[in-house]
Amino acid sequence: MGAVRGTASFASISLVLLLMALLHAQGTAPAAPLTLVSRDGRRPLATTIVNGQELVALEDLAALFLFDVREDTLAGGLTVVYRGQSIVMSPGQPMALVRGRVVPLPAAPVRSGARWLVPLDFISRALAPIHDTRIELRRESRLLLVGDIRVPRVTARIDAPGPPTRATIEVAPAAPVTITTEAGRLIARIDADGLDLSGPIEGAGLIEGIRAGEQPRTVAVLLTARAGAAMAVAGETGGVTRITVEVTAPAADAAAPAPPREPAPPPPAPATRPPLQTIVLDPGHGGDDAGVRGARGTAEKDVTLAVARRVRTLIETRLGVRVILTRGDDRAVGLDERAAIANNSKADLFLSLHANAAPSADLAGAEVFHLRLDREGEDARRAAESEAVALPVLGGATRTIDVMRWDLAQVRHVDASAALAAVLDEQLRAQVPMGSQALRQAPLRVLTSVNMPAALVEMGYLTNEDQERQLGSEAFQSSLAQGIYNAVLRFRLYLEEHRVS
């Protein structure tokens, strides 16, 4: 039965089921074929197992990779010639001479009737280095990739059964991803020549399972009947595209269009402290300080407050995370006071919202800033690292206390803040136009005293006619809020991954 299902899966390019069947077969029966993937399509490449080593026929490879095989019957040598380059092997020797260099092989070439068989590693260790075409052997997934084709590895896992149920799908190397929702499922379409998928994932919580989609190059997240809303955010970090999936239980207030006045009830107490409990949003300016004024009269202070309120609603209803605004209405709040509100609330994230101005009306797009330290700040940072004082406490343990000037509190969080700024840039980019150099570092006053990861978003230019209209519109403000919310979701994962244990 496994073989039948494997064939069907093979035809539909998604290899998951085939791979499962192959894993079953391995070790007991003759090896099932490798799959050669090239621009021309896919085809099987037969292998056999001799003495526990998986071997492939040299003549099959010669036909595929256009090389000659010469057998020196006198000396017993075997020479592969490809465009003037050679690989020399001799029977009984588990090695090859590639361009004059000795390359070890797990087994010696063996004769089988009229054919020579060589170990699979011959392809990656001997042939690939001399061949003009890129050749990549992926043993685990039994793929042989030939030429300039993109077949990223796709792995999935359930992070938390929830609710909300959270899962992560990783695509490496990174590839563009389009996410669509259908009844009962969420489909991620990955822009590549093929996918190298690990086996289907058993579901948990509100996710039934994660497996290859019916369409080529898609991954399907199947939802259970109890699932409410499902959302996914794709972001690239370190050459890997990470799709974060969150499935929530149906909730009456989450579906209601009007923002609820009351904050959402706190989430059930988890075993460990969640890395993101409190967020401080800082609507820039206020009161006498209107900030930037657009030509049509739009004031920065009004835009920042409107977007902050929208972000608060999204976060509180969907994430159940406490959100504090440094000002909830049109009033003047000093920069130190804003930082103090964040520090006193022991927030895990500080985000200052602003609208920009440029000396030219052409400039448009959002920009994200994180703090750049000057020399004094760098000194303080180094000092903080070396001057952390270990104090003995009762019971013989020690407690680390940081010695830090409070007005430079941000220096302890520069790495996390850079990560926060990067996910903001990445997630806002999917929602609103960005400036040409959108991710920036600058000595911004409000960020320096904040004792937590912090960033400042300039959401657009009020000095640009189109952008002034956009920034005043509900649709644009809601796109900004969605981008910021998505970034918070991504940053929560960052915090989980970098949690100090």
Partner 1 sequence: MIARRALAIAGGVVLLALLAWAVNAGLERLAGVEPAAAPRAAEPAAPPPGVPRITATLFYGSADGQALVPVRREVALAEGVVPQGREILAVQLQGAPEPHVPVIPPGTSLRAFYVTDRGDAFVDLSSEISAQHPGGSSTELLTVYAVVNAVLANLPTVRRVQILVEGREADTLAGHVDIRRPLERDMSLVRESP
Query: Rounded to an integer, what is the distance from CA 209 to the centroid of its chain?
Result: 20
Indicate which single residue of 213, 235, 283, 284 sits in contact with partner 1 (rule: CB under 8 A): 284
Q: Does 42 bind partner 1 (CB under 8 A)?
A: no
Q: What does 362 interact with, of Zn ion, partner 1, none (CB < 5 to 8 A by kind)? A: partner 1
DSSP 221: E
- What tokens does 29 get? 């029966």
Q: What does 54 interact with, of Zn ion, partner 1, none (CB < 5 to 8 A by kind)? A: none
Indicate which single residue of 31, 234, 292, 349 sits in contact with partner 1 (rule: CB under 8 A): 292
Whether the Cβ atoms of residue 56 and residue 117 lie closer than 8 Å to each other: yes
Segment contacting Zn ion (CB under 5 A): 248-256, 276-284, 309-317, 321-329?
276-284
Q: Which residues contact 325 (CB under 8 A, 6 or more apart)?
A: 280, 281, 282, 283, 308, 309, 312
Tell me the residue nearest to Zn ion as measured from the CB.
354
Least Cβ distance, residue 331 to partner 1 (angstroms): 14
Q: CB-based burial of residue 352 (10 Å sphere; 0-12 exposed, 13-18 middle, 19+ buried)?
A: buried
What is the greatest pairwise CA distance in the chain?
Answer: 97
Query: Whose CA is closest to 285, among 433, 432, 446, 485?
Result: 446
Q: Which residues contact 16 (CB under 8 A, 6 or more apart)?
A: 9, 197, 198, 199, 200, 211, 212
- From first CA to last CA, the distance across the chain in angstroms is 46
CA gap 323, 277 in Å, rounded: 9
SS3 313: helix
Q: What does 73 interact with, of partner 1, Zn ion, none (CB < 5 to 8 A by kind)? A: none
CA gap 488, 311 in Å, rounded: 10
Site size with Zn ion, rule: CB under 5 A = 3
Segment contacting Zn ion (CB under 5 A): 153-161, 281-289, 363-371, 436-444?
281-289
Segment contacting Zn ion (CB under 5 A): 110-118, 143-151, 315-323, 352-360?
352-360
Residues 342-381 that bind partner 1 (CB under 8 A): 354-363, 367, 369, 374-376
CA gap 404, 263 in Å, rounded: 34
Q: What does 358 interact with, of Zn ion, partner 1, none (CB < 5 to 8 A by kind)? A: partner 1
Q: Does 289 bind partner 1 (CB under 8 A)?
A: yes
Site size with partner 1, rule: CB under 8 A = 35
Query: Whose CA is closest to 243, among 317, 155, 162?
Result: 155
SS3 116: strand
SS3 213: coil
Least Cβ distance, residue 283 to partner 1 (angstroms): 12
Q: Which is nearer to Zn ion, 213 or 284 (CB)?
A: 284
Whether the Cβ atoms of residue 128 and residue 121 lie closer than 8 Å to each other: no
Least Cβ distance, residue 355 to Zn ion (angstroms): 6
SS3 119: strand
Q: Which is nearer to partner 1, 220 or 355 (CB)?
A: 355
Indicate which single residue of 15, 444, 450, 489 sits in contact with partner 1 (rule: CB under 8 A): 444
Least Cβ distance, residue 298 to partner 1 (angstroms): 13
Q: Which is nearer to partner 1, 4 or 442 (CB)?
A: 442
Residue type, 495: L
Return the number of other C-beta atoms located less than 10 Å from residue 91's C-beta: 13
Q: Does 291 bind Zn ion (CB under 5 A)?
A: yes
Indicate which single residue of 327, 354, 413, 492 sits in contact with Zn ion (rule: CB under 5 A): 354
Q: What does 446 interact with, of Zn ion, partner 1, none (CB < 5 to 8 A by kind)? A: partner 1
Least Cβ distance, residue 349 to partner 1 (angstroms): 19
Indicate which single residue of 458, 480, 490, 491 sits in contact with partner 1 (rule: CB under 8 A): 458
Alpha-carbon distances, residue 397 vs 68, 384, 390, 488 (angstroms)? 70, 21, 9, 35
Least Cβ distance, residue 408 to partner 1 (angstroms): 10
Q: Which is nearer to Zn ion, 81 or 335 (CB)?
A: 335
Q: Does 284 bind Zn ion (CB under 5 A)?
A: yes
CA gap 175, 191 in Å, rounded: 6
Burial 310-331 (b: 16+ CB within 10 A, else e): bbbbbbbbbbbbbbbbbbeeee
Whether the Cβ atoms of residue 81 and residue 75 lie closer than 8 Å to each other: no
Q: What does 335 interact with, of partner 1, Zn ion, none (CB < 5 to 8 A by kind)? A: partner 1
Q: Does 465 bind partner 1 (CB under 8 A)?
A: no
Q: Does 327 bind partner 1 (CB under 8 A)?
A: no
Residues 378-437 that bind partner 1 (CB under 8 A): 436-437
Return the number of other C-beta atoms located less than 10 Å from residue 248's C-beta: 21
Q: Which is nearer to Zn ion, 36 or 454 (CB)?
A: 454
Q: Which is nearer to Zn ion, 354 or 413 (CB)?
A: 354
Q: Does 446 bind partner 1 (CB under 8 A)?
A: yes
CA gap 495, 482 in Å, rounded: 20
Give the binding site for Zn ion (CB under 5 A). 284, 291, 354
Give the binding site for partner 1 (CB under 8 A). 284-285, 289, 291-292, 300, 335, 354-363, 367, 369, 374-376, 436-437, 442-446, 448, 456, 458, 461-463
